[in-house]
Amino acid sequence: MSATIIRNGRVIDPANKRDEVADLLIVDGNVAPLSQLSTLDSQPDEIDANDLIVCPGLIDIHVHLREPGFGHKETIESGARAAAAGGFTTIVCMPNTSPAADNSSTIAWIKNRAAGACVNVLPTGAISKDLAGEELAPIGSLAQAGVVAITDDGHCVQNHELMRRAVEYARMVGVPVLDHCQDYNLAGSGVVNEGYWSTLLGLPGWPAAGEEVIVMRNILLAELCDNHIHCQHVTTAGSVRLLRQARARGVKISGEVCPHHIALTDEAIQSFDTNYKMNPPLRAQADVDALLEGISDGTLSILVSDHAPHADFEKEVEFDAAPFGIIGLETELGLFLDLLLHKHAKIDIVRLIEMYTIEPARLLKIDAGTLSIGGPADMTLIGPDLEWTVKVDKFESASRNSPFDGRKLKGRAVRTIVGGKTVWRV
C-alpha cells in the first residue's frame, strides 16, 4: 500500500465547495479520508504545501498533440510532459492529424499511444471525414470508440445543413460539439486581424465578422437541435456579446478563451515575428477588454491553451507563409494567473480553478476535476505568487514557437500529481 499526505495546503475543490487550509491523504492512487491514516502499515510520504494551493488536477480541453502524422512538431509523449509541466493532469487532443481522427481505428491508435503518457489524454473525433466539411464522419462509432467530443478544429464546417446533422447525431450519442468559428468567405486569405495594423503593414486582414457569423450560426443550431455547442478560442467583442445574450435565454452554448488573446493585441504583429501569427488572430484592445469582461461575468466559462506546436523551420518563413499557432501548455496557467488575478483582478483563484476543473468536466461529462474521496488522486499544486521567467529552451514540448520567451509572470504550478504519483515538479 502506497500513501502520501499533503500537509498544510489551501485546498480548493470547487466541485465539493471546499476552500480551507487542510491536509490531503492519497492511498494507492486515490483520495482517501484522513481517518485512514491510523490504518496504514507505515508512515506515508509527506509533501509540504505551506503557502501553496492544492486543487483538482487541471484540465485543458484544447490541445494539438500532432500524432499521428506530425511527430516532428510534437508527440503524444512530449505533449503530455509539457502538460504536466504546466500543471495539467488531463488534456483533450484535437483530430487534425494525418490521418485525421475521423474513424475508430485512428482513435484506438491514439488511445493506445496515450496509455503510456504521464497525464490523462482524451481524444476527440472529427465532425466530417478528413475534416473536409463535405461528408459526416461516423459519429456513432467514434462515440463508441471513446471520444469525448466531436470537432473539426483547425477547420470549420461551412455547410450549415451538414453541421445541423452533426449536432443532431452528437445529441443522440451524448457528446458535445466543439467548433472552430471561422467563415471562410469572410475571413478569406486573412492572416491577421482586419484593422489598423493589417492596413499599415499590408497584411491580408481577417474581420471580426468572420468569427461572429459562425458563433451566431452555432447559437441557432444549439437552440434548434437542443444540444451543446462549444465555441473554441473566442476572440471578438461581438462573439462575447452574442454568447452572453444566448446564454441568458438558456441556449446550450459556451465559449473558451486562450491566454494569448488577452495577453497580446494585434499591435504585436508589427515585428513580423511569426510567433504572433495564430488562428484566430490577435485582435484589437477593445476585443481584449470584452474578453476580460466575458471571463469576469461568466460568459466565457473555460480556459484553454490551443497548444499548437510547429517546428522551427516551419515558422522561419515569411509571415504570410508561416503556419498559424503557438505552443501554450507550459505558459497558460502562469499567464492566466498573472493577468486575471494579479494585473486585472477580473476573477479570484476559486473561479479560475473552476474554469480549469468542473467547467470542462461538466461540458465533456468526464470523471475529473474533483478531489472527492475515493476518486483518482489527480492534483495540481500552485504557487499563486511565485514569480518566474518563461524560458522556452527549457520547455518539455518538442517545439519552441512561443511569443512569451523571457516574459516575467507571477503564479505557476509547482507540482503535478497523476494517480497519486508526482509526474512533474519545479
CATH assignment at residue 334: 3.20.20.140
Could you tell me if residue 23 is inside a domain? yes
Phi-psi region of 405 (alpha: psi -120 to 50; beta: other; left: phi over 0): beta
Cα(110)–Cα(125) distance, integer angstroms? 11
Grade residue 374 by pLDDT with cuts at 50, 70 and 90: very high
pLDDT of residue 247: 98
- 370 within domain boundaries: no
Residues 300 and 396 in one domain: no
Residue range 312-338, pLDDT digits in tens: 999 999 999 999 999 999 999 999 999
| 410 and 287 inside one domain | no
Average pLDDT over residues 273-292: 98
Judged against a pLDDT cut of 80, whether residue 68 lies above it is answered with yes
How far is the C-alpha of 204 from the C-alpha of 213, rounded, in Å?
19
Helix (H) / strand (E) element for 146: namely none
173, 261: one domain: yes
Question: Domain limits at 419?
Answer: 3-53+375-425
Out of 313, 340, 364, pick the residue that ends a domain: 364
Q: Are residues 48 and 63 in the same domain?
A: no
Torsion of CA 280, 175, 143, 149, to 10 degrees: 20
pLDDT score for 124: 98
Q: Are residues 106 and 12 in the same domain?
A: no
Question: For residue 43, is it within any domain?
Answer: yes
Mean pLDDT of 257-265: 98
Same-domain check for residues 319 and 217: yes
The mean pLDDT of 387-394, rounded to a whole number, is: 97
Same domain for 414 and 273 = no
Task: Enter the C-alpha cell of residue 21.
Answer: 487550509
All three cell numbers of 23: 491536509
Instruction: Report how far apart, in Å, the C-alpha atoms of 238 and of each of 184, 205, 294 are.
Output: 18, 17, 11
Q: Do 209 and 273 lie in a common domain? A: yes
Which CATH number goes with the domain that contains 11? Answer: 2.30.40.10
Domain assignment present for 393? yes
Tell me the backbone φ, ψ of residue 219, rounded to 5 degrees.
Answer: -60, -45
Q: Give the pLDDT mean for 409-423.
A: 98
Instruction: Please compute the mean of the pLDDT values over residues 86-112 and round it to a whole number.
Output: 98
Instruction: For residues 405 and 258, state if they share a domain.
Output: no
What cell was used for 284? 484589437
Domain boundary among 312, 338, 364: 364
> Is 306 a catalytic site residue?
yes
Residue 138 domain flag: yes
Model pLDDT for residues 399-408, shown as the tens digit of each residue: 999 999 999 9
What pLDDT does residue 390 have?
A: 98
Whether residues 184 and 257 fall in one domain: yes
287 in a structural domain: yes
Are both 62 and 172 inside the same structural domain? yes
Domain contains 48: yes
Please write the tens of the pLDDT for every residue from 295-316: 999 999 999 999 999 999 999 9
Mean pLDDT of the chain, nearest integer? 97
pLDDT at position 206 is 97
Identify the domain boundary among 364, 391, 411.
364
Residues 356-375, mean pLDDT to the nearest whole number: 97
What value does the mean pLDDT take over residues 413-426?
97
pLDDT band at 161 (very low <50, low <70, confident <90, very high): very high
Could you tell me the pLDDT band of residue 41, with boundaries at 50, 70 and 90?
A: confident
| Dihedral of the alpha carbons of 18, 19, 20, 24, in degrees to the nearest 10 | 60
CA dihedral for 169, 172, 175, 176, sign (positive or negative): positive
Q: In this predicted structure, what is the pLDDT of residue 90?
A: 98
What's the domain count of the chain?
2
State whether 295 and 258 are in the same domain: yes
Closest by CA position to 121, among listed 138, 157, 97, 137:
97
| Identified catalytic residue from 266, 306, 338, 378 | 306
Q: Residue 1 above 90 pLDDT?
A: no
- What confidence tens digit (pLDDT) does each residue in 171-200 have? 999 999 999 999 999 999 999 999 999 999
pLDDT of residue 296: 98
Q: SS3 for 268?
A: helix
pLDDT band at 36 (very low <50, low <70, confident <90, very high): very high
What's the rounded Cα separation, in Å, for the pair 372 and 374?
6
Would residue 265 count as lying in a domain?
A: yes
